[in-house]
Amino acid sequence: MRSRQRMFAAVMRLLLKCLRLGRRRRFKLVWQVEQLWQYGHLCLHSLLYNSFTNGDVVLDSLFEPVYWLVDHVTRWFGVVFVALVIGLTSSIVAIVYICLLPLILQTYTPAWICWHLAYGHWNLIMIVFHYYMAITTSPGHPPQAKDDLTGVSICRKCIAPKPARTHHCSICNRCVLKMDHHCPWLNNCVGHYNHRYFFSFCLFMTMGCIYCSISSWEMFRDAYAAIERMKLLDKERLQVAANQTYYQTPPPTFSFHQRAFHKSVVYLWVLCSSVALALGALTLWHAALITRGETSIERHINKKERQRLQKKGKVFRNPYSYGSWDNWKVFLGVDVPRHWLTRVLLPSPHLPHGTGLSWDLPPCVTEQRTPLLAI
């Protein structure tokens, strides 16, 4: 009897030891996991901590993969966009020559014929010239050697000198002089040396689209009504074919040439009107920027600087603005009155004022510019 009690007591002591050991091990395992979690959290916090971090920085970091994708897709699809511009423009020109020009020559008076031929071909030449120059002209890049430049900063991305008004293009992966933006429709950056070509192309393309929309309005109405009649006749033809008897004849049909003509006129008017609205808004936006002596990037920078100085009771003055009229003269390269004809109304490959590295007072500006800050 005693031996059984001793054996039972020994078994119970062994079971209690196992339970204590398992509890200790479990507590030790939990403690180790907790210590590892705190250590990892401390390491992550020490690596990512920044006193200047805010919601905007976190949001930019989250969208960084999207920015990278847009940069690379825009770079490769630039050729497709350029081909699309050339293809659509060529289709409109072909429709004008094949469909509209014969009607103009047959129905208009000699004075209106001369007007349409002169204005239409002048506008087309200006569009082709400025688009070709915009896509083939380099916007300008700063030199890599800092010895040639004084008082410039260093770009953090390409580790190269960065003169005033110069910004880094993440798509081209280079700094661009007086950068406005990267245009996928040009497959090129818009900068110091091709900014005028870009704006002139937008302006003359808008004028050409408005001209085509207004000139073809009556033809568009007739063509749209003819297409509606085509649809109605097609329905009647199907009904006659389903219930055809010996005493019924099918309705008359439109020829392939007539169908193609009417659909081409509708396509021309819809495309030109859409482009005129969209591109016209963009042209007005850039015209306002040119009037203020700013680029698209500088507009955002100057807005923040204006708000910052306003809180201090100061007024921000754009150091690159010479007044509305002089800003246009500097942008278009008009030094003498005859340049309005030879450099604005006619194709001209003249260079802009300055080199884009320094911004001295252009010779066409008559008044001194205002200082950067005024109290």
Angle at 180 (CA atoms; ends 174, 184), nearest 5 degrees: 75
End-to-end CA distance of the chain: 107
Q: Residue 304 — very low, low, confident or very high, per pLDDT cuts 50/70/90?
A: confident
- Which pLDDT does position 210 carry in this prediction? 96
Q: Which of 52-56, 236-240, 272-276 has the highest mean predicted lDDT (pLDDT)?
A: 272-276
Catalytic residue selected from 175, 183, 189, 212:
183
Flag whether pLDDT at 161 surpasses 80: yes
- Which pLDDT does position 202 carry in this prediction? 97
Please confirm, yes or no, whether 183 is among the known catalytic residues. Answer: yes
Angle at 55 (CA atoms; ends 51, 56), nearest 5 degrees: 100
CA dist list (Å): 280 to 99, 204, 274: 26, 10, 10
Both tokens assigned to 191 = 């900068």
- Percent pLDDT > 70 in the chain is 75
- Which pLDDT does position 257 carry in this prediction? 83
Q: Which of 101-105, 108-112, 275-279 has the highest mean predicted lDDT (pLDDT)?
A: 275-279
96 contacts: CB under 8 Å, gap ≥ 6: 120, 212, 268
Q: What is the largest CA-CA distance in the chain?
A: 136
Q: Residue 24 — very low, low, confident or very high, per pLDDT cuts 50/70/90?
A: low
The pTM score is 0.77
